[in-house]
């Protein structure tokens, strides 16, 4: 316990150093948000297994590592080093690159954006457009709801600010790429993104986390997504970091009337990953899809924590999370649906399916329903199992090796999730990554490509 | 649906709100109680009154000392004012005449009258019903029937205190073997102060010739009742046990913290059925029983089978998770539950299935019905440990909502540590469909009967697991609770 408290002191030190470096610049309300965040974190500390929301995820390795804020200058990342991190076949409308948490103007490209869409770093926007940021930031993601959100607020410095003016449709995606470089000390970054979508818009935003030399480090990101009436937003989280990295991300969504939000998550990298998705359907006739795929191996631990709030009538939500676990990996799924009083005609579905490829992998799943209205349709389902023996036999009887058969069936299990992703390049990328982890998977990947 | 329908609904909802608890009356018997409060002295007194051996007193004291270090759990989805454990009377027994009754004639006639009001088939009905009743009035059992029939088979079925005297070796061996004294706050409290309960031992290869049954009743005011039930089925034995409850109307909340332990050896089967119909409090949520029960069965042997069936319609608060530890290979655990809440009742109930042995399987069927301002939660855990190869679980928990001020919640926990496990979980929540009601109305069935039909259909999967006479009672109970609550 004592060492954890010491570590909390190092966060306070980092905070003090950051404040000194920053001087008295920045709006007062941001400073207040930071101080409230630090204060809350100091009070509650890191969550333990005794906290209901963290029952199956032990964050001790995070609590015991003395992470420091990366001192400027940011790590060097050349354009050639960036190239392999880009998603093949994807043509984004804009790309914001953050190296060790700092916005990189050289690597980013926002030149091709249409009128009505603005993409900049939060630090820039705080100078240029503080009013918009103030009216949204911290409203969806309260520091009190989670110690890591509090920590993020305490170190709120930079991130992406994406804004869609009313009646703007952009089919091509906006990519927010966070890259960690190799540093002398284990670094921590606390990206804070804000996406504000006006009325009657269509937007696609991809959050992509990757490593370029960085191994042990902490990314603690919070994204607030505000969706105006009659808009559609596709949001992606791609976790492709080093398998020693710690990654916590929170997506808080506030949905207006007649909106559609599709949130897709693919978790492949990271040592301990926590993926929070929390949509609040705050207008009638909202639609929300949470589609996720987690593929831990080795000793990776992935925790998907969903909380869907139906605050208004006539909304529907769908949660489809699938997991493929190998080696000694662990996965947690918590899906909570809360139907507020008066949210009649709610239609909420939730399924969590897990495929265990090894005897030492463990799954903890916790699908919950909390319902305070009577005219609702809510269902949840969860399954855990291994590959179907008969299907394996069928394929082997036709001369397909056991490994290849296993790869085919595993890919087929994941395909449903991949096909839901409406940006084909991402589905293909995740599919390739998945297959590269399976024996004989490359052969299958090759076959799939030639089709 | 039109306005008339809504009006009708409002009217019928009023009717259910005014539905009085039909089993409320108090029998005035001079109770032999200890003063309220809990201390080592009280425990020594309880133990001395019952003439218990030293090892049992030691066990109680160990539990009490452990209890002092514990705090009341807060994780359940229930709300109630803090309980003052020093205001509770921990022991109360009907006054004895001489050495206690040897036959029904010697039993206090007032007691027998109480049973008659409850419709317990203890007197002339006993032969008809074919039920052996070990009636617990408050805390001490006063009459046991069919003892001889059972004795012929070698079956031990008696009150707990009697078992401590006559079969100390069995009690000592199995007491706390499933629910240890340190298990949880309420079970530990029970271990320290339990007054009486039932003990049952079915020897090897015996199929119990009749359904065993206990009617529990809480009587003296402000008396917490702390029964302890222990059922052991030896190799190849089979037993079906019924537990049914009603309690007189009371204004103050009464605490009830019981413990039930089941042990099933190789090839043994235990079926435990409960109807819980304690006083739920009035329509304002005043009064009612606090029911904090720990029930757990251990499938110790291979091919053993434990089945829990419960119908929970009473109590202001229900906190109850009948569980199975599936230790033996090929063992089977089952849980069938109907929980109904109305007015201000709160129920947080479910089960735990812990798969340890190979090829173990478990089934969970839970049906929750919420009406009025009731809050109903299903909380269940399915745990498949690394050694439980080819374990199977099927879980289904459905909720039915009647009215828009109630709540239905599900909190399942599924932990799998073996890839050969197959587990499925399904849950649905819905209200009684207007089209279903319309269909039945069209065919000349009024709202009340239609609702009763729909709810009975909803619960059928559970009711058919109940023994015959219980199934009848359960259906009746449910339709009483539902009278008029068309949504």
Distance (Å, rounded) from C-alpha B457 to C-alpha B444? 18
Q: For position B134, what pLDDT does the model report?
A: 53
Q: Which of B408, B415, B425 sits opposite A364 (nearest CB)?
A: B415
Q: How many CB atoms lie within 10 A of CB A178?
A: 25
Residue A359: what pLDDT? 84
CA distance A305 to A343: 22
N- to C-terminal Cα distance for chain B?
11
What is the nearest CA distance from A339 to chain B, expressed in angstroms? Answer: 9
**Higher-confidence position of B102 and A145:** A145
State the best of A328, A329, A360, A369 to mutate against chain B, taking most chain B CBs within 10 Å. A369
Q: Please report, for chain B, the start and end positions of each structural domain, with discontinuous segments joined by +.
A: 3-482
Strands A218-227 and A188-189: parallel
Cα-based angle B178, B183, B184 (whole degrees, multiple of 5): 135
Q: What is the pLDDT of residues B163-211, one digit of tens each?
A: 888 999 999 999 999 999 888 999 999 999 887 788 899 999 999 887 7
Please indicate whether residue B21 or residue A99 has the higher confidence score (pLDDT).
A99
Instruction: Tell me the C-alpha distance between A385 and A353, whole Å.
Output: 8
The distance of B431 to chain A (nearest Cα, Å) reads 6
Cα B102–B106–B112 angle (5° rounding)?
Answer: 115
As a whole number of angstroms, the distance between CA B390 and CA A217 comes to 39
Measure CA of the first residue to CA of the last residue in chain A; give whole Å: 57
pLDDT at position A209 is 95
pTM of the model: 0.80
pLDDT of residue A242: 92
- B-chain CB neighbours of A385 within 8 Å are 419, 421-423
Q: Does B113 touch chain A (CB under 8 A)?
A: no
Contact B429 A377 (CB under 8 A): yes
Q: Quick: pLDDT tens for A399-445.
A: 999 999 999 999 999 999 999 999 999 999 999 999 999 888 888 88
Task: Supply the mean pLDDT for chain B.
Answer: 78
In sequence order, the 6+-apart residues with CB closer than 8 A to the CB of B416 are A354, A356, A362, A363, A364, A365, A384, B384, B423
Output the pLDDT for position B10: 47
Three-state DSSP at A113 gives: coil
Residues of chain B positioned with their CB less than 8 A from the CB of A371: 399, 401, 407-409, 429
Asked if B219 contacts B138 with a C-beta cutoff of 8 angstroms, the reply is yes
Burial class (CB in 10 A: 0-12, 13-18, 19+), B278: buried
Phi, psi for residue B131 in degrees, rounded to 5: -115, 130
**CB within 8 Å: B426 and A376:** no
Chain A contact present for B1, CB below 8 A: no
Q: How far is B272 from chain A (nearest CA, A)?
A: 28
pLDDT-based confidence at residue B485 (cuts at 50, 70, 90): low
Give mean pLDDT, residues B438-462. Answer: 87
Give one DSSP letter per residue of A160-222, joined into a string: EEEEE-TT-B--S-EEEEEEEE--SS-BEE--EEEEEE-TT-EEEEEEEEEEEB--S-EEEEE
Residue B74 pLDDT exceeds 80: yes
- Which pair of tokens denotes residue A135? 């009216």
Is the CB of residue B406 less than 8 Å away from at least one CB of chain A?
Answer: yes
Q: Is residue B98 predicted with pLDDT exceeding 80?
A: no
Give which of B298, B357, B343 is closest to B323, Cα–Cα.
Answer: B298
Query: Is 70 exceeded by the pLDDT of residue B259?
Result: yes
B409 to A367: CB separation less than 8 angstroms, yes or no:
no
Contact A383, B445 (CB under 8 A): no
Q: How many CB atoms lie within 10 A of CB B76?
A: 18
**pLDDT of B2:** 43
Among residues of chain B, what percentage have pLDDT more than 70? Answer: 75
**B453 pLDDT higher than 80:** yes
Chain A residues in contact with chain B using a Cβ-Cβ cutoff of 8 Å? 52, 56, 341-342, 344, 354, 356-386
Percent of residues, chain B, with pLDDT higher than 90: 31
Q: How many residues does chain B have?
A: 487
Which pLDDT score, from 0 to 100, does residue B216 have? 47
The burial of A42, by beta-carbon neighbours within 10 Å (0-12 exposed, 13-18 middle, 19 or more buried), is given as middle
Task: Output b/e per residue, B141-159; b: 16+ Cβ within 10 A.
Answer: bbbbbbeeebeeeebbbbb
Chain A closest-CA separation from residue B416 CA (Å): 5
CA–CA distance, B89 with B37 (Å, rounded to integer): 6
User: Per the CB < 8 Å rule, is A344 touching B404?
Assistant: yes
Average pLDDT over residues B285-310: 90
**Residue whose pair of structure tokens reads 């039932």 in the numeric block:** B198
Helix (H, G, I), strand (E, B) or coil at A318: strand
Alpha-carbon distance of A31 to A14, in angstroms, equals 15
Low-confidence ranges of chain A (pLDDT < 70): 1-8, 23-25, 72-75, 140-141, 451
| Closest approach of A152 to chain B, Cα-based (Å) | 28
Contact A379 B428 (CB under 8 A): yes
Range scoring the smallest mean pLDDT among A142-156, A388-402, B48-62, B115-129:
B115-129
Do residues A56 and A332 touch, judged by C-beta distance below 8 A? Answer: yes
Q: What is the pLDDT of residue A138?
A: 77
Query: Number of residue pairs across A and B with CB atoms under 8 Å?
Result: 117
- Count how many Cα atoms sit within 13 Å of the Cα of residue A71 in the half-sphere of its side chain: 6
Looking at residue B72, the DSSP 8-state letter turns out to be -
Residues in chain A: 451
In sequence order, which residues have a C-beta less than 8 Å from that of residue A30 and are 6 or more positions away?
A126, A156
Task: Decide if pLDDT at B128 tops 50.
Answer: no
C-alpha–C-alpha distance, residues B136 and B141, integer Å? 4
Query: Which residues in chain A are closer than 8 Å to B431, comparing Cβ atoms?
Result: 374-376
Judge whether A436 and A295 are in contact, CB under 8 Å.
no
Residue B86 in this model has a pLDDT that exceeds 90: no
**pLDDT score at B257:** 87
Question: In A, which residues are within 8 Å of B411 by CB distance?
Answer: 366, 368
- The structure tokens 């670094």 sit at A187
């Amino acid at each position: 316990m004592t060492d954890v408290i010491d570590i909390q002191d190092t966060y306070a030190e980092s905070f003090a150093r950051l404040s000194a470096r920053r001087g008295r610049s920045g709006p007062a309300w941001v400073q207040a948000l930071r101080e409230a965040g630090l204060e809350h974190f100091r009070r509650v500390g890191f969550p333990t297994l005794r906290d209901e929301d963290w029952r199956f995820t032990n964050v001790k390795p995070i609590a015991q590592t003395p992470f420091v804020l990366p001192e400027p200058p940011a790590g060097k990342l050349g354009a050639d080093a960036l190239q392999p991190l880009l998603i093949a076949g994807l043509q984004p409308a804009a790309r914001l690159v953050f190296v060790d948490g700092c916005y990189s103007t050289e690597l980013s490209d926002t030149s091709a954006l249409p009128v009505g869409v603005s993409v900049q770093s939060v630090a820039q926007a705080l100078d240029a457009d503080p009013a918009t940021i103030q009216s949204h930031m911290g409203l969806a993601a309260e520091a009190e709801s989670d110690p890591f959100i509090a920590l993020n607020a305490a170190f709120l410095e930079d991130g992406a600010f994406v804004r869609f003016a009313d009646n703007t449709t952009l089919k091509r995606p906006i990519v927010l790429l966070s890259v960690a470089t190799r540093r002398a000390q284990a670094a921590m970054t606390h990206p804070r993104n804000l996406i504000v979508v006006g009325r009657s818009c269509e937007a696609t935003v991809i959050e992509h986390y990757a490593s370029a030399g960085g191994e042990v480090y902490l990314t603690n990101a919070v994204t607030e997504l505000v969706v105006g009436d009659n808009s559609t937003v596709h949001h992606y989280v791609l976790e492709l970091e080093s398998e020693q990295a710690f990654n916590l991300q929170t997506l808080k969504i506030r949905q207006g009337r007649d909106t559609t939000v599709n949130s897709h998550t693919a978790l492949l990298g990271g040592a301990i990953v926590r993926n929070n998705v929390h949509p609040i359907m705050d207008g009638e006739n909202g639609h929300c899809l949470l589609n996720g795929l987690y593929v831990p191996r080795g000793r990776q631990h992935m925790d998907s924590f969903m909380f869907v709030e139906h605050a208004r009538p006539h909304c529907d939500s769908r949660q489809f999370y699938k997991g493929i676990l190998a080696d000694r990996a662990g996965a947690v799924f918590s899906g909570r649906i809360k139907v507020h009083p008066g949210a009649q005609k709610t239609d909420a579905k939730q399924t969590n399916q897990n495929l265990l490829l090894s005897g030492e992998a463990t799954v903890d799943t916790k699908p919950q329903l909390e319902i305070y209205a009577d005219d609702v349709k809510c269902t949840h389902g969860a399954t855990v199992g291994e590959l179907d023996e008969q299907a394996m036999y069928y394929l082997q009887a036709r001369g397909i090796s056991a490994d290849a058969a296993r790869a085919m069936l595993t890919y087929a299990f994941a395909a449903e999730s991949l096909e839901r992703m409406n940006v084909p390049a991402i589905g293909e990328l995740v599919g390739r990554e998945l297959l590269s982890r399976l024996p004989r998977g490359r052969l299958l990947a090759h076959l799939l490509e030639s089709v | 649906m039109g306005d008339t329908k809504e009006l009708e609904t409002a009217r019928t909802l009023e009717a259910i709100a005014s539905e009085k608890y039909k089993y409320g009356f108090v029998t005035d018997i001079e109770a032999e109680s200890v003063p309220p409060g809990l201390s080592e002295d009280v425990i020594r007194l309880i133990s001395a009154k019952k003439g218990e051996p030293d090892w049992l007193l030691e066990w109680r004291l160990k539990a009490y000392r452990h209890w002092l270090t514990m705090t009341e759990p807060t994780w359940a989805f229930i709300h109630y004012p803090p309980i003052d454990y020093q205001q509770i009377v921990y022991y109360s027994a009907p006054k004895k005449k001489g050495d206690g009754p040897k036959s029904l004639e010697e039993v206090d006639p007032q007691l027998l009258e109480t049973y008659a009001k409850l419709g317990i088939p203890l007197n002339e009905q006993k032969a008809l019903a074919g039920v052996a009743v070990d009636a617990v009035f408050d805390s001490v059992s006063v009459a046991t029937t069919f003892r001889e029939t059972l004795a012929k088979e070698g079956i031990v079925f008696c009150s707990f205190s009697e078992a401590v005297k006559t079969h100390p070796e069995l009690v000592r061996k199995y007491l706390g073997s499933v629910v240890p004294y340190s298990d949880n706050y309420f079970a530990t409290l029970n271990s320290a102060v339990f007054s009486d309960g039932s003990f049952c031992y079915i020897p090897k290869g015996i199929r119990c010739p009749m359904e065993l049954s206990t009617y529990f009743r809480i009587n003296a005011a402000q008396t917490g009742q702390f029964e302890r039930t222990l059922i052991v089925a030896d190799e190849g034995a089979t037993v079906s046990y019924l537990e049914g409850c009603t309690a007189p109307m009371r204004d103050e909340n009464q605490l009830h913290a019981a413990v039930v332990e089941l042990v099933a050896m190789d090839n043994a089967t235990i079926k435990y059925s409960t109807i819980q119909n304690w006083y739920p409090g009035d329509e304002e949520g005043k009064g009612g029983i606090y029911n904090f029960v720990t029930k757990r069965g251990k499938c110790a042997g291979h091919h053993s089978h434990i089945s829990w069936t419960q119908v929970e319609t009473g109590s202001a608060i229900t906190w109850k998770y009948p569980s199975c530890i599936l230790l033996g290979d090929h063992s089977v655990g089952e849980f069938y539950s109907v929980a109904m809440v109305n007015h201000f009742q709160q129920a947080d109930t479910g089960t735990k299935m812990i798969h340890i042995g190979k090829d173990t399987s478990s089934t969970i069927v839970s049906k929750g019905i919420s009406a009025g301002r009731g809050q109903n939660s299903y909380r269940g855990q399915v745990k498949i440990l690394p050694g439980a190869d080819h374990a199977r679980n099927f879980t289904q928990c459905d909720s039915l909502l009647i009215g828009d001020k109630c709540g239905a919640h599900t909190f399942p926990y599924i932990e799998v540590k073996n890839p050969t496990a197959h587990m499925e979980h399904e849950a649905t929540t819905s209200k009684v469909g207007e089209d279903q009601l319309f269909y039945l109305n069209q065919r000349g069935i009024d709202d009340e009967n239609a609702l009763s039909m729909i709810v009975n259909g909803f619960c059928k999967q559970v009711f058919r697991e109940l023994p015959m006479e219980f199934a009848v009672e359960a259906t009746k109970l449910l339709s009483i609770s539902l009278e008029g609550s068309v949504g």
